[in-house]
Copies of this chain bind each other. A is one copy, B any other.
Amino acid sequence: MRSVVVVGAGLIGTSVGLALTARGVTTHLLDRDPRVARAAAALGAGRTGRPRRPADLAVLAVPPGQVARVLAAVQGEELARIYTDVASVKEVPLTHAAEAGCDLARFVGGHPMAGRETSGPEGARRDLFRGRPWVLTPSARSGGEALDTVLELVALCGARPVVMGHREHDRAVALTSHTPHLVASLLAGTLLRGESDELRLAGQGLRDTTRVAAGDPDLWTDILGDNAEAVLTVLDALHGDLSLAREALRDLARGGPTARPDAAARLRAVLERGVRGRARVPTPGRRPAENAPRVPDAAVSGAARVSRPSQMALPQGVRDGVRPVA
Protein backbone atom coordinates (compact mmCIF):
# COMPACT_ATOMS: atom_id res chain seq x y z
CA MET A 1 0.00 0.00 0.00
CA ARG A 2 1.56 3.21 -1.18
CA SER A 3 -1.09 5.90 -1.00
CA VAL A 4 -4.14 6.49 1.16
CA VAL A 5 -6.70 9.29 1.24
CA VAL A 6 -8.19 10.09 4.63
CA VAL A 7 -11.57 11.81 4.28
CA GLY A 8 -12.37 13.64 7.50
CA ALA A 9 -9.41 14.90 9.54
CA GLY A 10 -10.89 14.53 13.01
CA LEU A 11 -9.49 12.52 15.88
CA ILE A 12 -9.68 9.15 14.13
CA GLY A 13 -8.79 10.33 10.62
CA THR A 14 -5.76 12.26 11.81
CA SER A 15 -4.62 9.35 14.00
CA VAL A 16 -4.82 7.08 10.94
CA GLY A 17 -2.81 9.65 8.98
CA LEU A 18 -0.14 9.83 11.67
CA ALA A 19 0.16 6.03 11.83
CA LEU A 20 0.38 5.65 8.04
CA THR A 21 2.83 8.51 7.52
CA ALA A 22 5.09 6.99 10.17
CA ARG A 23 5.08 3.75 8.14
CA GLY A 24 6.04 5.56 4.93
CA VAL A 25 2.63 5.55 3.28
CA THR A 26 1.80 8.71 1.31
CA THR A 27 -1.31 10.08 2.98
CA HIS A 28 -3.68 12.71 1.60
CA LEU A 29 -5.98 14.59 3.95
CA LEU A 30 -9.40 15.93 2.98
CA ASP A 31 -11.91 17.68 5.20
CA ARG A 32 -14.98 19.76 4.44
CA ASP A 33 -13.23 22.42 6.52
CA PRO A 34 -9.85 23.07 4.82
CA ARG A 35 -8.47 24.55 8.05
CA VAL A 36 -8.99 21.23 9.82
CA ALA A 37 -7.15 19.37 7.05
CA ARG A 38 -4.30 21.90 7.29
CA ALA A 39 -4.16 21.47 11.07
CA ALA A 40 -3.87 17.69 10.63
CA ALA A 41 -1.16 18.12 8.02
CA ALA A 42 0.75 20.47 10.32
CA LEU A 43 0.77 17.67 12.92
CA GLY A 44 2.45 15.36 10.43
CA ALA A 45 -0.59 13.31 9.42
CA GLY A 46 -0.05 13.76 5.66
CA ARG A 47 -0.50 16.33 2.93
CA THR A 48 -3.68 18.25 2.15
CA GLY A 49 -5.57 17.86 -1.12
CA ARG A 50 -6.52 15.09 -3.52
CA PRO A 51 -4.05 12.65 -5.07
CA ARG A 52 -3.46 12.97 -8.85
CA ARG A 53 -4.43 9.38 -9.52
CA PRO A 54 -6.71 7.04 -7.52
CA ALA A 55 -5.11 6.11 -4.19
CA ASP A 56 -4.85 2.49 -3.07
CA LEU A 57 -7.35 3.11 -0.30
CA ALA A 58 -9.71 5.81 0.93
CA VAL A 59 -10.54 5.84 4.65
CA LEU A 60 -13.83 7.62 5.33
CA ALA A 61 -13.43 9.01 8.84
CA VAL A 62 -16.82 10.74 8.94
CA PRO A 63 -19.79 10.27 11.30
CA PRO A 64 -21.99 7.22 10.58
CA GLY A 65 -24.80 9.34 9.17
CA GLN A 66 -22.51 10.63 6.41
CA VAL A 67 -20.76 7.43 5.34
CA ALA A 68 -23.17 6.48 2.52
CA ARG A 69 -23.33 9.98 1.02
CA VAL A 70 -19.55 10.49 1.17
CA LEU A 71 -18.86 6.98 -0.20
CA ALA A 72 -21.13 7.63 -3.18
CA ALA A 73 -19.43 10.97 -3.80
CA VAL A 74 -15.81 9.78 -3.60
CA GLN A 75 -16.51 6.63 -5.61
CA GLY A 76 -18.05 8.91 -8.23
CA GLU A 77 -14.79 10.78 -8.60
CA GLU A 78 -12.66 7.60 -8.44
CA LEU A 79 -10.75 8.81 -5.40
CA ALA A 80 -9.34 5.35 -4.67
CA ARG A 81 -9.41 1.68 -5.65
CA ILE A 82 -10.70 0.44 -2.30
CA TYR A 83 -12.83 2.09 0.39
CA THR A 84 -13.41 1.64 4.09
CA ASP A 85 -14.98 3.65 6.90
CA VAL A 86 -14.45 3.88 10.66
CA ALA A 87 -18.03 4.42 11.83
CA SER A 88 -19.26 2.91 15.09
CA VAL A 89 -22.39 1.53 13.42
CA LYS A 90 -22.25 -0.79 10.42
CA GLU A 91 -25.67 -1.97 9.20
CA VAL A 92 -27.54 1.29 8.54
CA PRO A 93 -24.67 2.97 6.64
CA LEU A 94 -24.23 -0.18 4.53
CA THR A 95 -27.93 -0.28 3.68
CA HIS A 96 -27.85 3.40 2.75
CA ALA A 97 -24.70 2.89 0.65
CA ALA A 98 -26.44 0.08 -1.25
CA GLU A 99 -29.47 2.31 -1.80
CA ALA A 100 -27.17 5.07 -3.07
CA GLY A 101 -25.78 2.67 -5.69
CA CYS A 102 -22.26 2.45 -4.27
CA ASP A 103 -19.88 -0.21 -5.58
CA LEU A 104 -19.86 -2.51 -2.56
CA ALA A 105 -17.32 -4.93 -4.06
CA ARG A 106 -14.69 -2.29 -3.38
CA PHE A 107 -15.91 -1.48 0.15
CA VAL A 108 -15.27 -3.16 3.49
CA GLY A 109 -16.73 -1.50 6.57
CA GLY A 110 -14.38 -0.98 9.50
CA HIS A 111 -14.52 0.15 13.11
CA PRO A 112 -11.37 0.70 15.13
CA MET A 113 -12.22 0.18 18.81
CA ALA A 114 -10.26 3.17 20.02
CA GLY A 115 -11.09 6.73 20.80
CA ARG A 116 -10.82 9.56 23.25
CA GLU A 117 -13.27 12.06 24.69
CA THR A 118 -11.58 14.82 22.69
CA SER A 119 -12.41 15.47 19.07
CA GLY A 120 -10.53 17.18 16.25
CA PRO A 121 -6.99 16.61 14.95
CA GLU A 122 -5.33 18.05 18.07
CA GLY A 123 -6.22 14.96 20.12
CA ALA A 124 -4.88 12.54 17.50
CA ARG A 125 -2.15 10.06 18.38
CA ARG A 126 -0.07 7.84 16.14
CA ASP A 127 -0.44 4.91 18.53
CA LEU A 128 -4.18 5.32 19.15
CA PHE A 129 -4.93 1.94 17.53
CA ARG A 130 -1.93 -0.05 18.73
CA GLY A 131 -3.04 -3.43 20.07
CA ARG A 132 -6.72 -2.46 19.89
CA PRO A 133 -9.38 -4.48 18.09
CA TRP A 134 -10.29 -3.08 14.65
CA VAL A 135 -13.51 -4.69 13.47
CA LEU A 136 -13.95 -5.39 9.75
CA THR A 137 -17.42 -6.20 8.44
CA PRO A 138 -17.08 -7.46 4.87
CA SER A 139 -20.49 -7.79 3.25
CA ALA A 140 -21.46 -10.64 0.92
CA ARG A 141 -20.51 -8.31 -1.94
CA SER A 142 -17.04 -7.32 -0.68
CA GLY A 143 -14.23 -8.52 -2.91
CA GLY A 144 -11.11 -10.32 -1.70
CA GLU A 145 -8.81 -7.49 -2.76
CA ALA A 146 -10.88 -5.05 -0.72
CA LEU A 147 -10.54 -7.18 2.41
CA ASP A 148 -6.80 -7.64 1.80
CA THR A 149 -6.26 -3.93 1.43
CA VAL A 150 -8.20 -2.99 4.54
CA LEU A 151 -6.43 -5.70 6.55
CA GLU A 152 -3.16 -4.09 5.48
CA LEU A 153 -4.41 -0.75 6.80
CA VAL A 154 -5.23 -2.37 10.14
CA ALA A 155 -1.77 -3.95 10.30
CA LEU A 156 -0.06 -0.65 9.44
CA CYS A 157 -1.95 1.01 12.30
CA GLY A 158 -0.77 -1.70 14.70
CA ALA A 159 -4.32 -2.85 15.45
CA ARG A 160 -5.75 -6.35 15.82
CA PRO A 161 -8.28 -7.26 13.08
CA VAL A 162 -11.59 -8.82 14.12
CA VAL A 163 -13.84 -9.99 11.28
CA MET A 164 -17.58 -9.98 12.04
CA GLY A 165 -20.93 -9.67 10.33
CA HIS A 166 -22.29 -6.13 10.43
CA ARG A 167 -25.38 -7.00 12.48
CA GLU A 168 -23.27 -9.03 14.88
CA HIS A 169 -21.00 -5.99 15.22
CA ASP A 170 -23.91 -3.65 15.88
CA ARG A 171 -25.31 -5.91 18.61
CA ALA A 172 -21.87 -6.23 20.22
CA VAL A 173 -21.19 -2.48 20.33
CA ALA A 174 -24.74 -1.77 21.55
CA LEU A 175 -23.80 -3.89 24.55
CA THR A 176 -20.17 -2.88 25.08
CA SER A 177 -20.11 0.75 23.96
CA HIS A 178 -23.37 2.45 22.91
CA THR A 179 -25.52 1.56 25.91
CA PRO A 180 -22.66 2.25 28.36
CA HIS A 181 -22.26 5.67 26.74
CA LEU A 182 -25.95 6.51 27.08
CA VAL A 183 -26.05 5.24 30.67
CA ALA A 184 -22.99 7.31 31.55
CA SER A 185 -24.80 10.33 30.05
CA LEU A 186 -27.92 9.61 32.10
CA LEU A 187 -25.84 9.27 35.25
CA ALA A 188 -23.85 12.44 34.54
CA GLY A 189 -27.13 14.25 33.88
CA THR A 190 -28.20 13.64 37.48
CA LEU A 191 -25.24 15.72 38.63
CA LEU A 192 -26.96 18.85 37.31
CA ARG A 193 -29.36 18.56 40.24
CA GLY A 194 -26.65 18.49 42.91
CA GLU A 195 -26.12 21.34 45.35
CA SER A 196 -22.96 23.28 44.73
CA ASP A 197 -20.85 21.66 47.43
CA GLU A 198 -22.11 18.10 47.09
CA LEU A 199 -19.83 17.53 44.13
CA ARG A 200 -16.68 18.07 46.17
CA LEU A 201 -17.13 14.56 47.57
CA ALA A 202 -16.70 13.13 44.08
CA GLY A 203 -13.98 10.53 43.80
CA GLN A 204 -12.43 8.28 41.19
CA GLY A 205 -15.57 6.14 41.03
CA LEU A 206 -17.69 9.03 39.78
CA ARG A 207 -14.95 10.17 37.42
CA ASP A 208 -14.71 6.71 35.88
CA THR A 209 -18.43 6.00 35.63
CA THR A 210 -19.14 9.34 33.87
CA ARG A 211 -15.94 9.80 31.82
CA VAL A 212 -17.35 8.84 28.43
CA ALA A 213 -20.36 11.14 28.92
CA ALA A 214 -18.10 14.02 27.85
CA GLY A 215 -18.27 12.75 24.24
CA ASP A 216 -19.65 14.92 21.41
CA PRO A 217 -23.48 14.86 21.67
CA ASP A 218 -23.96 15.34 17.90
CA LEU A 219 -21.76 12.37 17.03
CA TRP A 220 -23.42 10.22 19.70
CA THR A 221 -26.96 11.17 18.63
CA ASP A 222 -25.93 9.95 15.19
CA ILE A 223 -24.42 6.70 16.51
CA LEU A 224 -27.26 5.84 18.89
CA GLY A 225 -29.90 6.78 16.32
CA ASP A 226 -28.37 4.47 13.71
CA ASN A 227 -28.16 1.61 16.22
CA ALA A 228 -31.42 2.39 18.02
CA GLU A 229 -32.94 -1.07 17.90
CA ALA A 230 -29.94 -2.93 19.32
CA VAL A 231 -29.42 -0.28 22.01
CA LEU A 232 -33.11 -0.45 22.97
CA THR A 233 -32.86 -4.18 23.52
CA VAL A 234 -30.09 -3.67 26.08
CA LEU A 235 -31.79 -0.62 27.63
CA ASP A 236 -35.02 -2.56 28.10
CA ALA A 237 -33.16 -5.16 30.13
CA LEU A 238 -31.49 -2.44 32.17
CA HIS A 239 -34.84 -0.74 32.71
CA GLY A 240 -36.26 -3.97 34.09
CA ASP A 241 -33.46 -4.28 36.64
CA LEU A 242 -33.75 -0.59 37.49
CA SER A 243 -37.42 -1.10 38.31
CA LEU A 244 -36.55 -4.02 40.58
CA ALA A 245 -33.90 -1.95 42.35
CA ARG A 246 -36.22 1.04 42.81
CA GLU A 247 -38.95 -1.13 44.24
CA ALA A 248 -36.53 -2.78 46.65
CA LEU A 249 -35.19 0.63 47.73
CA ARG A 250 -38.74 1.94 48.26
CA ASP A 251 -39.48 -1.02 50.52
CA LEU A 252 -36.22 -0.49 52.40
CA ALA A 253 -36.88 3.25 52.79
CA ARG A 254 -40.32 2.52 54.24
CA GLY A 255 -39.61 -0.43 56.45
CA GLY A 256 -35.88 -0.66 57.07
CA PRO A 257 -33.87 -3.79 56.31
CA THR A 258 -35.19 -5.76 59.29
CA ALA A 259 -38.81 -5.04 58.38
CA ARG A 260 -38.34 -6.23 54.80
CA PRO A 261 -35.49 -8.74 54.62
CA ASP A 262 -36.70 -9.83 51.17
CA ALA A 263 -36.25 -6.26 49.89
CA ALA A 264 -32.57 -6.40 50.86
CA ALA A 265 -32.31 -9.76 49.08
CA ARG A 266 -33.89 -8.30 45.92
CA LEU A 267 -31.49 -5.35 45.97
CA ARG A 268 -28.57 -7.68 46.58
CA ALA A 269 -29.57 -9.80 43.57
CA VAL A 270 -29.22 -6.77 41.29
CA LEU A 271 -25.80 -5.94 42.74
CA GLU A 272 -24.70 -9.55 42.47
CA ARG A 273 -25.68 -9.65 38.79
CA GLY A 274 -23.47 -6.58 38.40
CA VAL A 275 -20.51 -8.37 39.97
CA ARG A 276 -20.94 -11.31 37.59
CA GLY A 277 -21.44 -9.06 34.56
CA ARG A 278 -18.37 -7.04 35.44
CA ALA A 279 -16.33 -10.26 35.63
CA ARG A 280 -17.09 -10.81 31.94
CA VAL A 281 -15.29 -7.60 30.92
CA PRO A 282 -11.89 -8.64 29.58
CA THR A 283 -8.93 -6.94 31.22
CA PRO A 284 -5.97 -6.42 28.88
CA GLY A 285 -3.14 -8.75 29.75
CA ARG A 286 -5.27 -10.87 32.08
CA ARG A 287 -7.02 -14.15 31.46
CA PRO A 288 -10.80 -13.86 31.54
CA ALA A 289 -12.37 -14.71 34.90
CA GLU A 290 -13.63 -18.22 35.32
CA ASN A 291 -17.24 -17.24 34.86
CA ALA A 292 -16.44 -15.16 31.80
CA PRO A 293 -17.28 -16.71 28.46
CA ARG A 294 -14.55 -18.37 26.52
CA VAL A 295 -13.92 -16.21 23.50
CA PRO A 296 -13.47 -18.11 20.25
CA ASP A 297 -10.99 -15.78 18.60
CA ALA A 298 -9.69 -18.00 15.84
CA ALA A 299 -10.78 -15.38 13.33
CA VAL A 300 -8.70 -12.76 15.08
CA SER A 301 -5.46 -14.59 15.45
CA GLY A 302 -5.94 -16.20 12.06
CA ALA A 303 -6.31 -12.89 10.30
CA ALA A 304 -3.35 -11.45 12.16
CA ARG A 305 -1.06 -14.30 11.11
CA VAL A 306 -2.09 -15.13 7.55
CA SER A 307 -0.14 -13.07 5.08
CA ARG A 308 -2.81 -13.19 2.37
CA PRO A 309 -5.89 -12.81 4.51
CA SER A 310 -8.47 -12.94 1.72
CA GLN A 311 -7.62 -16.60 1.37
CA MET A 312 -8.64 -17.38 4.89
CA ALA A 313 -12.04 -18.91 5.36
CA LEU A 314 -14.33 -16.52 7.14
CA PRO A 315 -15.80 -18.14 10.24
CA GLN A 316 -19.20 -19.70 9.68
CA GLY A 317 -21.00 -17.22 11.92
CA VAL A 318 -19.72 -14.27 9.93
CA ARG A 319 -20.84 -15.57 6.56
CA ASP A 320 -24.18 -16.54 8.08
CA GLY A 321 -24.59 -13.14 9.66
CA VAL A 322 -23.99 -11.30 6.40
CA ARG A 323 -27.23 -10.57 4.65
CA PRO A 324 -26.86 -9.69 0.96
CA VAL A 325 -27.52 -5.98 0.77
CA ALA A 326 -30.28 -4.44 -1.38
Q: Which residues of A contact B (CB under 8 A)?
A: 65, 113-115, 132-133, 135, 162, 168-169, 171-173, 175-177, 179-203, 205-215, 217-218, 220-222, 224-226, 228-229, 231-232, 234-239, 241-242, 245-246, 249-250, 252-253, 256-257, 263-264, 267-268, 270-283, 292-297, 300
The answer to whether residues A271 and B201 also contact, given A206-B176, A252-B228 and a CB cut-off of 8 A, is no
A-B CB contact pairs (8 Å), 21 listed:
A133-B203, A171-B195, A175-B194, A177-B203, A185-B274, A186-B241, A189-B238, A190-B238, A190-B277, A191-B277, A197-B296, A202-B281, A205-B212, A209-B212, A213-B278, A217-B275, A221-B267, A224-B267, A224-B271, A235-B245, A236-B246
Whether B193 contacts A180 by the Cβ 8 Å rule is no
Whether B217 contacts A272 by the Cβ 8 Å rule is yes
Whether A207 contacts B295 by the Cβ 8 Å rule is no
Whether A221 contacts B132 by the Cβ 8 Å rule is no
CB-defined contacts of A279 to chain B, threshold 8 Å: 214
Please measure, in the bound complex, the distance between the C-alpha atom of A263 and the C-alpha atom of B210, giving whole angstroms: 24
Q: How far is the CB of A251 from chain B (nearest CB, A)?
A: 8
CB-defined contacts of A282 to chain B, threshold 8 Å: 199-200, 202
Please measure, in the bound complex, the distance between the C-alpha atom of A207 and the C-alpha atom of B175, giving whole angstroms: 13
Shortest 6 CB-CB contacts between residues of A and residues of B: A185-B274, A196-B293, A188-B277, A191-B277, A172-B198, A228-B253
Closest to A250 in B: B232
Whether A209 contacts B207 by the Cβ 8 Å rule is no
CB-defined contacts of A229 to chain B, threshold 8 Å: 253
Whether B196 contacts A295 by the Cβ 8 Å rule is yes
CB-defined contacts of A179 to chain B, threshold 8 Å: 187, 190
CB-defined contacts of A278 to chain B, threshold 8 Å: 184, 188, 191, 210-211, 213-214
Whether B274 contacts A186 by the Cβ 8 Å rule is yes
Q: How far is the CB of A319 from chain B (nearest CB, A)?
A: 15
CB-defined contacts of A183 to chain B, threshold 8 Å: 183, 186-187, 209
Whether B208 contacts A211 by the Cβ 8 Å rule is yes
Whether B277 contacts A189 by the Cβ 8 Å rule is yes
Whether B253 contacts A191 by the Cβ 8 Å rule is no
The answer to whether residues A276 and B190 also contact, given A162-B201, A250-B228 and a CB cut-off of 8 A, is no
Please measure, in the bound complex, the distance between the C-alpha atom of A246 and the C-alpha atom of B243, giving whole angstroms: 15
Whether A200 contacts B271 by the Cβ 8 Å rule is no
